[in-house]
Amino acid sequence: VEMPNADALKKLAYELKNEVEKAFVVLAANVDGKPQIAVILDESLIESKGWNAGMIVRDLAKEIQGGGGGQPFFATAGGKNLQGLPQVVKKAKEMFL
């Protein structure tokens, strides 16, 4: 997706989490010409599966030549390789589907 700024990406992630029960959301976006990733998890997935958004986003950020981090339930990353965003989506699907 294209987003005007990182705050809009964060807002969208939280809106999706609030709409979907047991949400696991990965957003890969072009934010002003730079790749950004947001990962948000429902607390039940953290408890039952041991997932951690910060660890997930750090792994996905490799695809955009970037880095990131955050909390167990929400994390973001930025990078340099905009062309890596489709690979982020593919890798996220492979990790959890």
Model confidence over 37-51: pLDDT tens digits?
999 999 999 999 999
CATH T-level fold of 2-96: Diaminopimelate Epimerase; Chain A, domain 1 (3.10.310)
Tell me which DSSP letter residue 54 carries: H
* 3-state secondary structure labels for all residues of 13-50: HHHHHHHCCCCEEEEEEEECCEEEEEEEECHHHHHHHC
Model confidence over 59-93: pLDDT tens digits?
999 999 999 999 999 999 999 999 999 999 999 99
